[in-house]
Amino acid sequence: MSETNSLELINKLSQENLDQYCSKEDIELLVLHTLDINRNTLYRENPSLDDNELKKIAHFIERRNLGEPLAYLFGNKGFWNLDLFIDENVLVPRPETELLVEKILSLYDSKPLRLLDLGTGSGAIGLSLLSERPSWEVYCSDLSLKALKVAQENKKNNLVNAHLVNANWLSAFEGNSFDVIVSNPPYVDRNDKRLLGDGVSFEPTEALISEDRGLKDIRHIIKTSKSYLRDSGCLLVEHAPEQSKDVVDLFKDYSYSSIRLFQDLNGDDRVSFGKIA
Ligand code: GLN
């Protein structure tokens, strides 16, 4: 079968895959990716596919139907203004995490400052910030060397000059040295049904799960960051909406000031903020 047109194929395959993970939208993206074209070209030219391309698409659909995220199939994901390389050693960056980037950009202009993205994974947060504020000194740290390799690739591809550090949370840094610490740490409870969600079982559990109802790492970060922040420095952490009260209480317990909660695009409490007085 050598003369299959893309649009007919997409319709046919989406009928065949009703009620599976691979949606019609996913199939369209798989076709665009395989042919290396954009949507305009697809709808304007309705290109034909050869046997090799058809095989590739069938293979992608098989993997997607087992739950593998598109970001791992494609090896990339858009986040903020960056196109990030992504593999199974890092979380797929979520749109709600862009809230951290947005808030920090709205709080700080391009005056030089030192910022640490703690548990950076793919580098999504730190590298996005640095691409917007090249005058900042940005450190991206992670315990996982495999994650840091992904961040390194993204640093190179996006031509930004972040410092990548292999460290267990703050242990490698000097006290009193950052103006901003930001983190999207693991915060999902081991029994949370979110872990059964689409694609999540393919993601690294050490980037998702935290003990103590998902709060163990957040508590450690809030507790220890205080002595690594300079005067008037601030900490921003991502968390699950239902953790907001606990997280705000932790900021209070450790005597941060100007404590605030920020909502993501769904209106859910997603980021907590606190300052060193
Ligand atoms: N936001 C992710 C989720 O709900 C979890 C990411 C994280 O633990 N940092 O799946």
Q: What is the pLDDT of residues 152-184, one digit of tens each?
A: 999 999 888 999 999 999 999 999 999 999 999
Percent of the chain surpassing pLDDT 90: 96
pLDDT of residue 277: 83
In CATH, which of 2.40.50.100, 3.40.250.10, 1.10.1510.10, 3.40.50.150 is domain 93-275? 3.40.50.150
With 80 as the cut, is the pLDDT of residue 80 above it? yes
Report the chain's mean pLDDT, rounded to a whole number. Answer: 96
- Kindly report, residue by residue over 38-67, the tens digit of the pLDDT: 999 999 999 999 999 999 999 999 999 999
- Whole-number Å distance, alpha carbon 8 to ligand 1 midpoint, is 37
220, containing H or E segment: helix 216-225
- With b meaning 16 or more CB within 10 Å and e meaning fewer, what string describes 135-154? ebebbbbbebeebbbbbbbb
- Residue 207, both tokens: 């980037």
- What does the chain come to in residues? 277
Contacts of 263 by beta carbon, 8 Å cutoff, 6+ apart: 99, 269, 270
- Report the nearest atom of ligand 1 relative to the CA of 209: 8
Q: In which band, very low, low, confident or very high, does the pLDDT at 209 lie, cut at 50, 70 and 90?
A: very high
| Separation of alpha carbons 26 and 53, rounded Å | 16
* For ligand 1, mutation pick of 120, 143, 187 (most atoms within 8 Å of CB): 187
- Kindly report, residue by residue over 226-253, the tens digit of the pLDDT: 999 999 999 999 999 999 999 999 999 9
Q: In which band, very low, low, confident or very high, does the pLDDT at 3 lie, cut at 50, 70 and 90?
A: low
* For ligand 1, mutation pick of 77, 94, 182, 244 (most atoms within 8 Å of CB): 94
pLDDT of residue 4: 84
Percent of the chain surpassing pLDDT 70: 99
